Amino acid sequence: MITPAMTPPVRTFAEFAPLVPELAVVFGAFALLMLDLFLDDRRRIVTQALAIATLLAAAALVAGGVGGHGVVMEGLFQRDTVSDVLKFSVLAVSAISMAYAWSYLRERDLYRGEIPVLMLFASVGMMLLVSAGNLAMVYLGLELLALCSYALVAIDRDSPLASEAGMKYFVLGSLASGLLLYGMSLVYGATGTLDLDGIRAAAGAVAGEDRTLLLTGLVFVVVGVAFKFGAAPFHMWLPDTYHGAPTPITIFIGSAPKLAAFGMAFRLFDGGLAPLQEYWQLLIAVLAALSLVIGNVVALAQTNLKRMLAYSTVSHVGFLFLGISGGGADGFAAAMFYAISYALMSAASFGAIVMLSRRGFEADRIEDFKGLNARHPWMAFLVMVTMASLAGVPPFLGFWAKVAVLRAAVEGDLMWLAIVGIVCAVIGAYYYLRVIKVMYFDEPVGEPVRPRGGPLRAVFAFNALALLGLGLFWSPVMAWCQQAFAG
């Protein structure tokens, strides 16, 4: 017999209104899943186009503030300005990533109807992650993103390289999830709550054995977050995964998830574990230094462009950690600005490989770009803009992103870390400028490279030129990020 006290609460639409963008993407994913049953391989571009339209429509809902801000589902989900900025960026970058996929995957007979569906569900996971108000929602969003990513990386079942990459990604990703979950369980054991606001209130008053338990949980949480970012020394999955996955999949997993990982770090550190800032700030600073040094030094020795970009990702995570370790509203705003900038730069850098590849030729070695300017000056210019932005050359977007996080580290009394960042930025410029040197000063070799045309060329041009345009007008983006943390 059900008593009145046992009656579940009645849910109204108003309570779910802040989830309208997430629900739009979920409904779009299920609709595409059903539609794909009635399409053959030649007409599957329809699902590709509709998936991109779904992401852009959800981005418009976020930008328009549809559903409004609020905390719903007993604190599991919170929508605020921070989450809106990150969601809009995640959806826009995911749409760009998906636009690179069609021609490359169709040419290699790899395009399947489940690819856009998996990307949509992964995007939902990222959206939930940046709006998490509870440790349970953090883990739900993270695993939804991770499970979709594992399947996408291993989508080419006939490729030993892709299968190996998918297996490594799955095993090490599962290990990272286990460490993070264990850390969350210790935090729960010390504070008695899964709610991030409750953890924040309880963490400052915890003492004795419970405080030891809480600090141990903090260490495991930091390690789990570092794994998901690909920070050194927990980066072992990243080079093989980036190298083995089909390049459009690498674009997706190497761009938007960094924004989601930043959102997770913000919710956990500034939200739940803020009273322990002196501890996690030091841990993040050490990880930043290791990532900067290891990522840049190892990238110098790479001849494969995808592996070079993978190790450079480790170094960029180090720069992003500069902002987080700086702490405070300005530090997190700088880190958010860097995450948005890097997501765009990463999509363009791997997009250059997609643009020059063809069936039987991946264009993933640095020597494949030799003499590109002599044959395709416009394409060489776009690649040059991308590499210069990654190197932090003014006035491109990457320069202002590096300045922002270095300033945040200095203001956070981490001068030693800022010095490490400056030295590593100089080291990192070498391997990016090496690609530019190869394009403009080396003689063309081998069969002429033919960049893709049509809509894909327009997508790549938009992506690359955005790095120049936003570099010239970076202030509104930075102000947007600062406004998100102003409250």
The string of pLDDT tens digits covering residues 198-215 is 999 998 887 778 889 999
Q: Is residue 4 part of a domain?
A: no
- Reported confidence tier of residue 1, pLDDT bands at 50, 70, 90: very low
| pLDDT over 80 (residue 2) | no
Give the domain range for residue 392: 17-486
Residue closest to 25 by CA, chosen among 48, 58, 49: 58
> What are the Cα distances from residue 204, in Å, to 104, 191, 425, 480?
52, 10, 37, 31
Question: Of the given ranges (20-24, 103-107, 130-134, 434-438), which has the lowest mean pLDDT?
Answer: 103-107
Domain count of the chain? 1
CB burial of residue 442 (10 Å; 0-12, 13-18, 19+):
middle
| pLDDT over 70 (residue 5) | no
Q: Which residues contact 121 (CB under 8 A, 6 or more apart)?
A: 26, 29, 144, 148
Q: Is residue 270 part of a domain?
A: yes
Tell me 72's DSSP state.
E
Paired strand residues for 71: 78
More confident residue, 210 or 391: 391
Q: What is the pLDDT of residue 130?
A: 95
pLDDT digits 0-9 by tens, 250-306: 999 999 999 999 999 999 998 889 999 999 999 999 999 999 999 999 999 999 999
| pLDDT over 60 (residue 472) | yes
Q: Is residue 76 part of a domain?
A: yes
Q: Is residue 91 part of a domain?
A: yes
Please tell me the distance from the alpha carbon of residue 260 to that of residue 92, in angstroms, as a whole number: 13
Q: Is residue 6 part of a domain?
A: no
Segment 151-167 shows an average pLDDT of: 90
| pLDDT over 80 (residue 4) | no
Q: Is residue 8 part of a domain?
A: no
CB burial of residue 34 (10 Å; 0-12, 13-18, 19+):
exposed
Please tell me the distance from the alpha carbon of residue 235 to that of residue 303, in angstroms, as a whole number: 19
pLDDT digits 0-9 by tens, 411-450: 999 999 999 999 999 999 999 999 999 999 988 876 666 7
Q: Position of tokens 């995808």? A: 306
Contact predicate 397/467, CB 8 Å: yes
Q: What angle do CA 294, 297, 299 make, to 5 degrees?
A: 100
Percentage helix, strand, coil, to 5, in the chain? 80, 5, 20
Q: What is the pLDDT of residue 427?
A: 93
Q: Is residue 11 part of a domain?
A: no
Please give the single-letter amino acid code of residue 300.
L
- Reported confidence tier of residue 6, pLDDT bands at 50, 70, 90: low
Please give the single-letter amino acid code of residue 389.
S
Q: What is the pLDDT of residue 11?
A: 64
Q: Is residue 347 part of a domain?
A: yes
Neighbours of 180 (CB within 10 A): 25
Q: What is the pLDDT of residue 307?
A: 94
Percent residues over pLDDT 90 in the chain = 74
More confident residue, 27 or 448: 27
- Token pair of 420, please? 């490490």
Summary mean pLDDT of the chain: 91
Question: Of the given ranges (111-115, 397-401, 408-412), which has the lowest mean pLDDT?
Answer: 111-115
438 SS3 class: helix
